[in-house]
Amino acid sequence: MEKMKAIAVTAKKHVELINQEMPVPGAYEVLVKVQTSMLCTWEQRIFSQVMPVSLPFIGGHEFAGIITAIGASVDEKAFPIGAKCTGSYIYRCGVCDACRRGDDTHCIHKKSQAYKFGKNGLAEYTTINYQNVFVFPDNVPFERIMFTEPLACVISAHDKFKIELGDEVVIQGAGIMGLMHAYIAKLEGARVSIADLDETRRNLALKLGVCDRAINPITDDIAALVQETIGKRGFDIVINTTAVPKSIEQSIDMCAPGGTFLMFGKVFPNQPVPININKVQDASIKIVGTMSGDIYSFERARKLLSTGRICPEEAGLLSGMYSREDAQIAYEQAILPVTFRVGIDFRK
């Protein structure tokens, strides 16, 4: 079998460039030559062993590449050789109750290829079921295409509540996911506030025009600010992108009567979070969770990125690109709190 290079986490905070067998596409699969791939929070947690999994581990679900071969049952007109693309590694059956009601993130047969050793985007080649492949125009850079998966996760989250025109939305955290939530909330017609301890990130959010105000959640009196600036007893939508239990507790208190609190992401290690459950009941507050992007959200993310409505790589959300030989440095940079996304360039 032909060999290829892949980047594997082999021990805590240690990665190696290893050889493994090059995948061969099945009848309904597409073979993609990976060009670029980002290090998601998920890969970062595995690298740091905050989220232990069996090692060695090859991640890479935020990737971009070129179609180089297709299976016998794949339509070449829809998936032409040489086309730029990305894809979703999550298998969805399409026939269970969740899939047929349009909620394929909760498919009862759902399983993630991203957990399978050697099947991911941090390698020279990867295979994906054609139904999960998304083709991009030639003029869209790979550095933008690889943002499809995280943007799809954000769009899928927004499907779980409705932002009305002029709604007041606050986002806890101005990291990459917080800023993409801000982009989508703005497109949906909201007035957006972003709360973050880091002044540089608050200033970037204001510079990008994705928020109307930037808040320091420690030094600013958010309750007074809400009352004074929007004349309400809270925000219509509160989105938490942090892993800090205190910010989750604070987020509930920031909700207006009838408002919605969205928990985006995970808390590691998992621990109980105290909330004012009486306020939830008295004020009819909705608490919403979210996980992964569905096929529909991937397609909308593809459109936004293809048309340039959102260009994360130009907005400073890509903190650096490293060659595969410098993957150790890339991972070390990715886990720093000052970075957004760090990418691997397989073209180097």
Give me the average pLDDT of each 10-residue run along the chain (348 residues): 91 94 94 97 90 87 97 97 94 86 82 59 94 97 98 96 94 95 97 94 95 89 69 86 84 90 84 85 92 91 97 96 97 94 94
Residues 227 and 197 in one domain: yes
As a whole number of angstroms, the distance between CA 43 and CA 86 comes to: 18
For residue 200, give its domain range.
Answer: 154-290
In the block, tokens 């990008």 appear at 208
pTM, whole model, 2 decimals? 0.93
| Cα 8 to Cα 12: distance, rounded to the nearest angstrom | 11
pLDDT of residue 112: 57
9 and 139, same domain (yes or no)? yes
Residue 42 identity: W
Angle formed at CA 265 by CA 150 and CA 11, multiple of 5 degrees: 85
Instruction: Mark whether 58 and 15 lie in a shared domain.
Output: yes
Outline where 32-146 has alpha helix (H).
41-48, 97-100, 142-145
Position 302 in a domain: no
Whether residues 158 and 119 share a domain: the answer is no
Helical packing angle, 245-254 and 222-230, nearest 10°: 30
For 37, the 3-state DSSP assignment is: strand
Contact 181, 239 (CB under 8 A): yes
Within the chain, residue ranges assigned H as helices are: 41-48, 97-100, 142-145, 148-158, 176-187, 199-208, 222-230, 245-254, 277-282, 295-306, 327-334
Q: Is there a contact between 290 and 156 (Cβ–Cβ < 8 Å)?
A: yes
pLDDT given for residue 262 in this prediction: 95
Angle between helices 148-158 and 176-187 (to 10 degrees): 50
> How many structural domains does the chain have?
2
Tell whether 164 and 282 lie within a shared domain. Answer: yes
The per-residue pLDDT for 205 is 96
Fill in the DSSP letter of residue 106. Answer: G
Q: Are residues 17 and 142 in the same domain?
A: yes
Q: Which residue's entry shows tokens 């909308």?
A: 300
Would residue 296 count as lying in a domain? no
The rounded distance, in Å, linking the Cα atoms of 304 and 312 is 11
